[in-house]
Structure 1
């Protein structure tokens, strides 16, 4: 339980750590005073049972008890106020540290399946972590220090009773440990399943058109949302049931220890080993010791859940960011060079397996190959969404790691298959690439990307709001906004991944012309299956299983009769197919 304290120190700044240290000392003092208050009852009772009563000593113990209780309440007030203050510090530091860390992570780390868990971490996880110093930590510290004080004091009453208390506390500690292990193991599974469910709910809301078109709403056994809900229900049931059995085992152990201590104390009294007053005092101490330990058991599940929340935050903060250079290099040109590039998303897997290529500035290079061959991954490496496992990616003569993420971002503009538009107007989404762009600049790139047709028919033109993730626009319209945004950025290197895949045939030629115009002044690398784009390329790279197997222009590769020739013939046949 107390192991979560170092984690809190990691999350806090120096001011927060100072408050936390003061709070812990106040809580520990509170527990010691609580234990002393109950121990002082024993000499008080012994004094009362003496004949004659030593009134001076009686008043001494009464004053001692009153002083201990008063000091206890002072520390209680202080530690409670500090708990809320530290909780606020944790909230502030929590969001700040996670936000800053997320901004340093590789862009490729942000997969769709992480949306739900991160959202839950920043929502419920935030309150769980802040709840530890604000509410739970006082019960944990007092629940440990008060019994420990009473156990140490019991040795001064009788060493056998002290040993009994120590042995009983050890058994209770083992039972408590078992309870927390059970909760931790099942809570991990529950949090994983509930995070997956959150991601599926977002997916379910966004993909209503597809789900309804294929009747998945009427067949829940085919939907991942239904499966996620079933898994979440099962993991929640296991957490509740197994936690309940572990809690029963803890309280059973506690009651067994209390019964054994009481029986030992009574036996020692009947044998004349200890006085009656001492027996009464020991019984009072035993029953009062029961309260903080019971509270530990009742709160153990909550403490473990909140400690797990801290663990998830630490796991996130442990994800290594992309290393950034102290002094970013200055590129000389816009050529792109790949030297011995190897990369795999997971350890032991290889997606790009030794690619060497020199792509001169101002050229149009098409990348083709079967699905899963590594085409999109190659563009992501050039954009520095990830760092290569081996080799280097260079832009303008410098490794992208020496240019830094900000430098690579300034040099490149990307148009990928999955276009995301932010809530706002069409103009707002374009000006993300160039905040100072004029209306004339918007009109210019709109004409090239054929976005002017879309803007012209919308009721509010450039001021039309696109909705969440561009939900009010079609796939082709969003793609055109993305292409126009890349044009407006005016970066020397443009990367397009199936940029024309969502466009209708009527606009395919127009967008191909836009890509050709880009190539006159920029280095353009495009992953495409469209015939017009492939034919217009200065150079075509064929990638299979993460390697370049063919390299040349359209005529050269057709004459070779290899993979590209087969690819071309298939596309020609598909394009010539029609209904009769």
Structure 2
């Protein structure tokens, strides 16, 4: 619990931490007063069973009980209201810190398989974290401080019963620890499986056209969604069943302790070594101690689940961001140099082998460079490194003579515009999606880039023109239309370096020439690097880099590489044959 409170405090500012610690102090005081109120029953009963009755002492003890109960309820009211304030503070701090931290992580960290867990963390995980100070901490703190106060007080009433309580506390604490370990181990599996299911559900919804086209909706052997849901159901069942057994063990230990204490109390009274007043007081203490401890046991699983949620938040906040320079450097031009570049995804998150190994290349400012090679050669990764999606493992990448790490992420972003094969459009209008690149762009600016990217004919065809909503992820547009929106957005940004990954791959042949023309226009004024498969794009390049197995095996212009008869020549021959292929 101490670790959980420490994690919570890290999500709060100085004012929020003061509120948290004040709330905890009030809750601890509440527990002490609750235990004290029950302990004071013993001297009250002793006063009544002693002849003659000392009514002065009776009213003294009665007044003390009333004062303890009143103070307890006052602290209960204050700490409960303060808990909601702290919960709101935690929620605000969580969103702010997580949002700021996510913005500093490498762009390449945001893989598709992380969308589900992050979405769940921002949804249910957020409420789990805020729920801790708002609802759970009071029960946990009171469940510890009230019984502790009663156990300490029982030593004053009868040291033998105090020892029995102490031994019972060790037994119950061990059972509670076992319960929380069971919940933690199984909750990790459950959270992993439910995050995977969330990703599969989103995938299933978005891939309906493909699933229906190939008739795989009712084929269980292809049902990754069904498999993930079955796995989630299994992990949830294990969490519930094993947690129930842990709860049974805890309550069994608690009942054993209560039974033993009551038996000892009766035995000592019958032996004449304990007064009736002390017996009644200890009976009350024993029975009233059940409530906070039972509630603590019932909430132990929930507490552990919420502690795990806080731990996942902390783990995400500990993902190292890209290092940023204190004072970003300024580039002297837009030429690009790669020197001894080595990179592997295993160096980022243990996810794979080395992708690029010993890349050396110089791309002059204002040139048009095409990158070609077989699938898996590292072409897309090369563009992502230039755009600083990741930092290189070894070597350096320089833009304008400056290492991209010296320029900083914001500096690289200002210098580059990127068009990748997986185009994502946000919910909103076409104009909204273009203005992400230039929020102050005028209607004339939009029309200009639309003409270059051949987006103008798409806008004219749509019912509401620029104000047409594109749907989630651009679902109302075709792949070619989304590609043109992406190219227009890059044009609007007007960055000196443009990175295009298979920019014409999603376009039909009728539009390929138009987009190729737009790329050619970019090349006259900017440094352009294209991962290309289309023949027209490759031929237009000033320089071609051939990547194979993470290395540059050839470089030069089209005619030079064709005459060399190497990998590029084979690539060209295959593309020519594919272009000439037709149904007869």
* TM-score, normalised relative to structure 2: 0.97
Matches within 5 A, 1:190-205: 190-205=190-205
Partner of 2:183: 183
After superposition, residues 327-366 of structure 1 pair within 5 angstroms as 327-347=327-347, 349-366=353-370
Counterpart among 395, 411, 414 of residue 410 in structure 1: 414
User: Greater CA deviation, 425-434 or 524-533?
Assistant: 425-434
Does residue 377 of structure 1 match 2:396?
no
Output the CA distance in 1 between the equivalents of 2:325 and 2:123.
34
Q: Residue deviations 1:528-554, cap 9 Å, x none?
A: 111111111111111122111112222
CA distance in 2, matches of 1:290, 1:427: 64
Matched, 1:159 2:163: no
- Deviation, 1:465, is 2.1
Tell me, in whole angstroms, the C-alpha distance in 1 between the residues paired with 2:270 and 2:442: 97
1:493 equivalent to 2:493? Answer no
Helix, strand or coil: the match of 1:74? helix
- The residue that corresponds to 1:397 in the other structure is 401
Give the aligned partner of residue 5 of structure 1. Answer: 5
Asked if 1:285 is matched to 2:285, the reply is: yes
C-alpha separation between the residues in 2 aligned to 1:220 and 1:425? 38
Residues of 2 paired with 1:458 and 1:62: CA distance? 82
Question: Is the CA contact (8 Å cut-off) linking 1:367 and 1:527 kept in structure 2?
Answer: yes
Q: From the superposition, tell whether residues 55 and 457 of structure 1 become closer, same or farther in structure 2 (CA, over 3 Å).
A: closer
CA distances 1:251-272 after superposition (whole Å, capped 9, x unpaired) = 0011111111122222222222
Map of 1:388 onto structure 2? 392
Task: After superposing the two structures, state which structure 1 stretch, 485-494 or 219-228, moved more.
Answer: 219-228
Corresponding residue of 1:105: 105
**What SS is found at the alignment partner of 2:530?**
strand
Structure 1 window deviating more from structure 2 (410-419 vs 281-290): it is: 281-290
Task: Supply the distance in 1 between the matched residues of 2:491 and 2:98 (Cα, whole angstroms).
Answer: 33
Superposed counterparts of 1:109-258, under 5 Å = 109-258=109-258
The answer to whether residue 310 in structure 2 is matched with residue 319 in structure 1 is: no
Distance 2:66 2:448 in 1: 84
Deviation at 1:431, TM superposition (A): 2.3
1:367 to 358, 367, 371: 371
2:543 corresponds to which residue? 539
1:46 paired residue number: 46
Q: Which string of whole-angstrom CA distances, capped at 9 and with x for unpartnered residues, describes residues 137-189 of structure 1?
A: 11100100011111111111222211110010011001001111111111111
Secondary structure at the aligned position of 2:130 is classed as helix
Cα displacement (A) at 1:2 = 4.2
Paired position in structure 2 for 1:271: 271
Once structures 1 and 2 are overlaid, which stretch shifts more, 265-274 or 140-149?
Answer: 265-274
Judge conservation of contact 1:324–1:402 (CA < 8 Å) in 2.
yes
Q: Which residue of the partner structure matches residue 449 of structure 1? A: 453
1:86 corresponding residue in structure 2:
86
Q: CA deviation at 1:441?
A: 2.9
Alignment of 1:543-562 (within 5 A): 543-562=547-566
Distance in 1 (CA, whole Å) between partners of 2:485 and 2:68 is 72
The 3-state SS of whatever aligns with 1:525 is strand
SS at match of 1:192: helix
Q: Secondary structure at the match of 1:217?
A: coil
**Hey, what's the Cα distance between the residues in 2 that align with 1:49 and 1:307?**
49
Deviation at 1:122, TM superposition (A): 1.5
Are the structure 2 counterparts of residues 436 and 157 from structure 1 closer, same or farther at C-alpha, using a change threshold of 3 Å?
A: closer
**8 Å CA contact retained: 1:2, 1:140:** no
Partner Cα distance (1:448, 1:312) in 2: 46
State the shift of 1:289 in Å.
Answer: 1.0
Q: CA deviation at 1:393?
A: 1.1
The secondary structure found in structure 2 opposite 1:356 is: strand
SS in structure 2 of the partner of residue 215 of structure 1: coil
Aligned-residue offset at 1:283? 1.4
**Cα separation, partners in 2 of 1:2 and 1:139, compared to 1, 3 Å:** farther
Deviations 1:326-384 (A, max 9, x none): 21111111101111111122236311112111110011111111111111011001111
Q: Report the Cα distance in structure 2 between the residues aligned to 1:77 and 1:439, rounded to whole angstroms.
A: 58
CA–CA separation in structure 2 for the residues paired with 1:392 and 1:110: 23
Any unmatched runs of 5+ in structure 1? none
The answer to whether the aligner puts 1:29 opposite 2:29 as a matched pair is yes
SS for the counterpart of 1:391 is strand
CA distance in 2, matches of 1:174, 1:80: 29
Deviation at 1:52, TM superposition (A): 2.2
| Alpha-carbon distance in 2 for matches of 1:420, 1:51 | 87
Question: What CA distance in whole angstroms lies between the structure 1 residues aligned with 2:148 and 2:19?
Answer: 25
Cα displacement (A) at 1:446:
2.2
Q: Is the 8 A contact 1:221 1:227 kept in 2?
A: no
Q: How far is 1:445 from its partner?
A: 2.3
Deviations 1:51-94 (A, max 9, x none): 22222222221121111111111111111111111111112112
Aligned-partner Cα distance in 2 for 1:138–1:511: 63
More deviation, 454-463/80-89:
454-463
Structure 1 residues 363-372 or 493-502, which shifts more?
363-372
2:298 pairs with 1:308: no
Contact 1:422–1:467 at 8 Å: present in 2 too? Answer: yes
Q: Secondary structure at the match of 1:218?
A: coil
